[in-house]
Amino acid sequence: MNEKQIHEAYAIAKERYAALGIDTEQVIHQLESFHLSLHCWQADDVSGFEPSGESLSGGIQSTGNYPGKARNIEELRQDILTAMKLIPGNHRLNLHEIYGEFNGKFVDRDQCSVDLFKGWMQWAREHNIKLDFNSTSFSHPKSGSLTLSNPNDEIRAFWVEHTARCRAIANAIGEYQQDPCMMNLWIHDGSKDLTVDRLLYRTLLKDSLDKIFTTHYAWEKTSLESKVFGIGLEAMTCGSNDFYTAYAAKNNMMITLDTGHFHPTESVADKVSSLLLFVPELMLHVSRPIRWDSDHVTIMDDSTLELFQEIVRAKAMDRVHYGLDYFDGSINRIGAYVIGARAAQRCMTRALLEPISTIHNYEISDRGFQKLAFLEEEKSLPWAAVYDEFCARQNKPIGLEFIPEIEKYEQQVTALR
Ligand code: RNT
Ligand code: ZN
């Protein structure tokens, strides 16, 4: 399709949606200010840049050996910028503590400071990118199965110090960019086999969190990420959904919903309207679990679409931070970024194009078949023409045009690594 055809298709779509009371121009405008937080760890299979080069542990796994993974900060930055060029809109970048500028120097996790991220902050400003942050308690000799809930006081204090420092780093980033920095807190703590004193570990985790959150920061917002289980930690997870939901509700904190962190038949979408009545904001880790928390590349599947629809239906677009979280090492990693990010945008496009007030009226007046008919019809309305138009206006690849771009980058850059 050439550009003229894209605009023609859009003009038809515009009319079609207008007949349903939807203003596609407004939707395109909303898409412009829909910022994803791109996770830095897809580019290098969650390796990071600590000179000790610990292999990935903590109940998560990246599988696949596709050539070309980023080996240092320069390569990672180049990959991220390349991916961003192929995604319409302006997006944030989500860093983990292990992605600091260590420059070959050993800085243990309980010694980390904003110095490690000064370069990132300048680079991000140069490229008009806002940063988010994550403490890193996995892939470390002291992580074992227990970090913040470890009965060993010394180890627990080590991780409390790390996490408290990560909050300070995030705050410094937030202040520098004059925009709050999300600090995601996920720990893998749990046990492989039957655990009789769950209360002990959860009491310790609560105590650690209380210590970590004694300081109030103006530019940092911590979000708590639960999980149902990890590899090698199948029997118990200290930071379960109930644990963090209760903690966040009590302390007015944010919750991170990772779409791979729940029982397979549990609807993450269904959680949005409940949680937002009790916590201020949500962070998403949009992922794609296949059989387990496998972190496959995000696609437009029913569960992702429903999640975005629920956010829009709850009028909560501005109370949600849209992080992606997957790591597939089996395909071109830039391609993985681009497909996942565009899939999230396409889900949001469809969510925004829903003729919700009409459907709502049917629901409230108990006209069930009419409601169902609308919900079926909207699946085949020309939403893709609206997304294509958005891409065209942003001067970004339309449809599959990103494939040759990524292939070119692979030939010229990643294949040579
Ligand atoms: C792990 C969590 C966590 C990590 C990242 C790397 O199951 O989803 O968010 O994926 O911190
Ligand atoms: Zn996650």
Give mean pLDDT, residues 56-65.
Answer: 94
Query: Can you say whether the dihedral through the CA atoms of 249, 251, 252, 257 is positive or negative?
Result: negative
Note if 295 is an active site residue.
yes
Give mean pLDDT, residues 200-215.
Answer: 98
Say which ligand is closest to the CA of 41. 1
**pLDDT (tens digit per residue) in 361-406:** 999 999 999 999 999 999 999 999 999 999 999 999 999 999 999 9
Note if 261 is an active site residue.
yes
The C-alpha atoms of residue 51 and residue 72 are separated, in whole angstroms, by 11
Q: Is the pLDDT of residue 300 over 90?
A: yes
Determine if ligand 1 sits within 6 Å of the CB of residue 285.
yes
Say which ligand is closest to the CA of 46. 1
Determine if ligand 1 sits within 6 Å of the CB of residue 257.
no
Determine if ligand 1 sits within 6 Å of the CB of residue 86.
no
Give mean pLDDT, residues 175-187.
Answer: 98
Which of 44, 225, 378, 389 does the annotation list as catalytic? 225
The C-alpha atoms of residue 173 and residue 168 are separated, in whole angstroms, by 9
Give mean pLDDT, residues 226-240.
Answer: 97
Calculate the CA 65 to chain-centre distance.
23
Determine if ligand 1 sits within 6 Å of the CB of residue 233.
no
Note if 186 is an active site residue.
yes
Note if 207 is an active site residue.
no
> Quick one: pLDDT at residue 173?
99
Note if 293 is an active site residue.
yes
Confidence of residue 2 (pLDDT cuts 50, 70, 90): confident
Confidence of residue 81 (pLDDT cuts 50, 70, 90): very high
Distance from residue 9's CA to the centre of ligand 1 (Å):
40
Give mean pLDDT, residues 292-315.
Answer: 98
Q: Is the pLDDT of residue 336 over 80?
A: yes
Distance from residue 226's CA to the centre of ligand 1 (Å):
10
Q: Is the pLDDT of residue 115 over 90?
A: yes
Average pLDDT over the chain reads: 98
Q: Indicate which atom in ligand 1 lies nearest the CA of residue 327.
A: 10
Enter the tokens of residue 337.
Answer: 């970024």
Give mean pLDDT, residues 353-366.
Answer: 97
**Within 10 A of 83 (CB to CB), how many other CB atoms are there?**
25
> Quick one: pLDDT at residue 209?
99
Distance from residue 139's CA to the centre of ligand 2 (Å):
15
> Quick one: pLDDT at residue 53?
86
Q: How many CA atoms are closer than 13 Å to the CA of 334, on its beta-carbon side?
A: 29
Scored b (16 or more CB within 10 A) or e, 366-395 reads eeeeebeebeeebeebbbebbbbbbbbebe
Determine if ligand 1 sits within 6 Å of the CB of residue 46.
yes
Confidence of residue 353 (pLDDT cuts 50, 70, 90): very high
The proportion of the chain whose per-residue pLDDT surpasses 70, expressed as a percent, equals 100
Nearest-CA residue for ligand 1 atom 1 is 60
Distance from residue 72's CA to the centre of ligand 2 (Å):
23
This model's pTM is above 0.85: yes
Determine if ligand 1 sits within 6 Å of the CB of residue 41.
yes
**pLDDT (tens digit per residue) in 121-130:** 999 999 999 9
Confidence of residue 1 (pLDDT cuts 50, 70, 90): confident
